């Protein structure tokens, strides 16, 4: 009887220690199409520190307003639209991809 | 406590600490030889078994990189090392709380600058006229699905790779095949033309990227001159030469990207940050410097600095795998195509998504995207066998192109912008160009009338 008590206690203790040590739990691979995706809960310190470092870097970058960024994209488009053959088309005589016509020998 | 209880306690204690790696099912462990210093590997992904570098015990090891040096520690030593660097008072909980607060702060900062949508700003831009594209050439010759293609800088040659292991160099004007190489593996998912036009790089399920110098002698056996450059621990999904023939950037199913020196095969820089396969990468156009963007199965698109290996920006708004990423010609933005049937435009300076290209009728994923020369048009190849052409500024669809009889796997615009080529699982490549567009007349009007 005392041994089963000890085993029960031992099991509880293992659970407690696991929580304290913060073990990373790996869940099985999830198949998605023909690629595998790993999902893991970030329970351990190393990953948490990496994440915090990364977020600090990302939070510190300089940002501009969307209106300014959009205006710049638009002005780039307008500046280069004239030289865009897929937009304005090229005359057939210059188009290297024009359909080949059979040669006629006169 | 009795002696036996104390012994049991000690046993349990040692078991619990030693069982840290025990939560991994043993079927996933692989016994591998000591990793070669030239290999590039995902942090925490590949697990080998052997003696730990710090405690010396035989345990499942985690291969991690510290300042680009590979070290093999068991998971316990990794934790101890991480704990050493903690400032006083930092615990797992404070770190988690800090990461959550940083995330919300990031969202707020991004939202503050979101004053207007791109298509609203673009309302004053003239709409594009009716688009008519025509398939000019069909390149037939592959025995199986075409997976990837690239244009040469001479605007004429194309290299394409397919599932049967063949890599073919074509002349796009005449449809002649100039070179053909048979790779020792199938599913060659990546191929790239060198800037000089003298070599091609390709790779796939062999986990390597091989560079073949092209010779003018048609009878020469190209496989003899093959050079293995990159070595990953999973399939190669994408490769690209940098501005010279000397360096190659690769991305792999092991979750990393890497920069290699072609001549020596040396790993110059590795990029860790994706938590799943990286499917695609694209280098910034040369004027804007040393960055590249990568997209992967973790739904994230990351922008990296090539010199430091640092992940400078990260975008996670897609709902599924990102299949393809491509920089806007000015280098200030990039577009992504994803399995969630949308393409999105992200601006780097505003640090957010600025446009979504989607329609309710499109339910199949976009496998590949590319911009036209001016950046006004976005060509996207979908798994429903079509290619949709989007107006980048207004967010509307301008044209649909039919013609392929299976999934479109790759779409690329030629370097001079006169045509674009699409490769498909129907074993063919097709090059398309403009027939004639009424907006062409509009531009002439603008020149005259302005």
Quick check: helix, strand or coil at residue B159?
A: strand
CB contact under 8 A, B115 and A66: yes
Number of domains in chain A: 1
CA B301 to mean position of chain CA atoms: 9
A98 lies in some domain:
no
Helices B75-84 + A45-59 axis angle, to 10: 50
A44 lies in some domain:
yes
pLDDT tens string A8-50: 777 777 676 666 555 444 333 333 333 333 333 445 777 788 8
CA distance A79 to B111: 29
pLDDT tens string B278-329: 999 999 987 657 899 999 999 999 999 998 888 999 999 999 999 999 999 9
Q: What does the pLDDT read at residue B91?
A: 74
Which of B327, B350, B413, B429 is best to mutate for the A interface (most A CBs within 10 A)?
B350
Q: What does the pLDDT read at residue B13?
A: 57
The pair of three-digit structure tokens given for residue B417, joined into one six-digit string: 């912008």
A36 lies in some domain:
yes
CA B342 to mean position of chain CA atoms: 17
Q: What does the pLDDT read at residue B449?
A: 31
Edge-to-edge strand ranges of the sheet holding B236-241: B236-241, B247-252, B256-261, B267-272
> Nearest by CB to B253, which of A35, A63, A96?
A35
Residue in A with minimal Cα distance to B312: A58
Residues of chain B positioned with their CB less than 8 A from the CB of A63: 109-110, 113, 349-351
| Least Cα separation, residue B216 to chain A (angstroms) | 23
Quick check: helix, strand or coil at residue B448?
A: helix
For B60, half-sphere exposure in the C-beta direction (CA atoms, 13 angstrom radius) is: 18
Quick check: helix, strand or coil at residue A85?
A: helix
Instruction: Grade residue A55 by pLDDT with cuts at 50, 70 and 90.
Output: confident
CB contact under 8 A, B5 and A6: yes
Structural element, H or E, at residue B351: none
| Least Cα separation, residue B80 to chain A (angstroms) | 9
Edge-to-edge strand ranges of the sheet holding B301-305: B278-283, B291-296, B301-305, B311-315
A52 lies in some domain:
yes
Q: What does the pLDDT read at residue B116?
A: 86
CB B237 within 8 A of CB B191: no
* 10-residue stretch averages of pLDDT, chain B, 450 residues long: 62 48 35 43 54 78 63 72 64 82 86 85 84 89 94 93 94 91 91 93 92 79 83 93 91 93 91 92 82 95 91 93 95 95 94 93 95 94 95 92 94 93 95 66 35
Q: Which residues pair with B276 in a beta bridge?
A: A37
| Least Cα separation, residue A105 to chain B (angstroms) | 21
Residues of chain B positioned with their CB less than 8 A from the CB of A31: none
CA distance B317 to B347: 13
Instruction: Grade residue A97 by pLDDT with cuts at 50, 70 and 90.
Output: confident
A12 lies in some domain:
no
Residues of chain A positioned with their CB less than 8 A from the CB of B85: 49
Q: What does the pLDDT read at residue A21?
A: 53
CB contact under 8 A, A97 and B419: yes
Print burial letters for B143-181: b (CB count within 10 Å at least 16), e (below 16): eebbbbbbbbeeebbbbbbbbebbbbbbbbbebeeebeb
CB contact under 8 A, B113 and A21: no
CB B253 within 8 A of CB B217: no
Residues of chain A positioned with their CB less than 8 A from the CB of B374: 76-77, 79-81, 83-84, 87
Phi and psi at B119, nearest 5°, equal -70, -25
The pair of three-digit structure tokens given for residue B294, joined into one six-digit string: 């990568």
Q: What does the pLDDT read at residue B348?
A: 92
Residues of chain A positioned with their CB less than 8 A from the CB of B440: 87-89
A73 lies in some domain:
yes
pLDDT tens string B248-272: 999 999 999 999 999 999 999 999 8
Q: What does the pLDDT read at residue B46?
A: 47
Residue in A with minimal Cα distance to B323: A35
Q: What does the pLDDT read at residue B288?
A: 56
A48 lies in some domain:
yes
For B271, half-sphere exposure in the C-beta direction (CA atoms, 13 angstrom radius) is: 31
Range(s) of the domain holding residue A44: 32-80
CB contact under 8 A, A10 and B12: yes
Q: Residue A50's domain is classified under what CATH number?
A: 4.10.260.10
CA distance B416 to B4: 81
């Amino acid at each position: 009887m005392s041994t089963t008590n000890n085993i029960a206690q031992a099991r509880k203790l293992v659970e407690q220690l696991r929580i304290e040590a913060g073990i990373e739990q790996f869940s099985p691979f999830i198949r998605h199409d023909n690629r595998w995706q790993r999902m893991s809960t970030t329970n351990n310190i190393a990953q948490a520190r990496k994440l915090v470092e990364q977020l600090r870097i990302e939070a510190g970058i300089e940002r501009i307003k969307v209106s300014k960024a959009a205006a710049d994209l638009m002005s780039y488009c307008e500046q280069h639209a004239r030289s865009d053959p897929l937009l304005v088309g090229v005359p057939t005589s210059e188009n290297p991809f024009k359909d080949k016509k059979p040669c006629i020998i006169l | 406590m009795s002696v036996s209880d104390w012994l049991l306690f000690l046993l349990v204690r040692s078991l619990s600490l030693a069982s840290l790696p025990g939560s991994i099912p043993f079927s996933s462990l692989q016994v591998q030889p000591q990793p070669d210093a030239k290999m590039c590997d995902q942090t925490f992904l590949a697990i080998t078994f052997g003696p730990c570098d710090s405690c010396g015990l035989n345990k499942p090891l985690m291969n991690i990189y510290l300042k680009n040096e590979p070290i093999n520690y068991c998971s316990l030593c990794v934790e101890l090392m991480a704990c050493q660097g903690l400032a006083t008072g930092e615990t797992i909980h404070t770190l988690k709380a800090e990461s959550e607060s940083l995330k919300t702060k990031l969202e707020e900062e991004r939202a503050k600058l979101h004053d207007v949508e791109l298509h609203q700003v673009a309302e004053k831009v003239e709409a594009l006229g009716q688009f008519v594209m025509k398939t000019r050439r069909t390149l037939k010759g592959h025995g199986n699905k075409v997976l990837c293609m690239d244009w040469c800088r001479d605007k004429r040659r194309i290299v394409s790779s397919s599932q049967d292991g063949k890599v073919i160099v074509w002349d796009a004007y005449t449809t002649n095949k100039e070179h053909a190489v048979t790779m020792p593996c199938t599913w060659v998912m990546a191929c790239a033309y060198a800037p000089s036009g003298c070599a091609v790089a390709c790779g796939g399920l062999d986990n390597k990227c091989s560079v073949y110098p092209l010779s003018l002698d048609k009878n020469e056996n190209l496989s003899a001159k093959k050079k293995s450059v990159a070595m990953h621990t999973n399939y190669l999904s994408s490769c690209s030469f940098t501005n010279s023939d000397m360096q190659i950037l690769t991305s792999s199913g092991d979750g990393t990207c890497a920069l290699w020196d072609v001549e020596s095969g040396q790993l110059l820089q590795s990029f860790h940050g994706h938590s799943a396969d990286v499917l695609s990468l694209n280098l910034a156009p040369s004027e804007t410097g040393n960055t590249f963007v990568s997209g992967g199965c973790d739904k994230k698109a990351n922008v990296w600095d090539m010199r430091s290996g640092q992940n400078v920006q990260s975008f996670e708004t897609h709902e599924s795998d990102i299949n393809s990423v491509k920089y806007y010609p000015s280098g200030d933005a990039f577009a992504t195509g994803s399995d969630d049937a949308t393409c999105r435009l992200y601006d780097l300076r505003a640090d957010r998504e600025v446009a979504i290209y989607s329609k309710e009728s499109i339910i199949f994923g976009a496998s590949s995207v590319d911009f036209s020369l001016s950046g006004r048009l976005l060509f996207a190849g979908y798994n429903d066998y079509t290619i949709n052409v989007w107006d980048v500024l207004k967010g509307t669809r301008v044209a649909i192109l039919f013609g392929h009889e299976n999934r479109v796997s790759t779409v690329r615009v030629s370097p001079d912008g006169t045509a674009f080529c699409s490769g498909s699982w129907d074993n063919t490549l097709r090059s398309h160009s403009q027939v004639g567009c009424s907006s062409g007349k509009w531009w002439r009007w603008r020149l005259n009338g302005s």
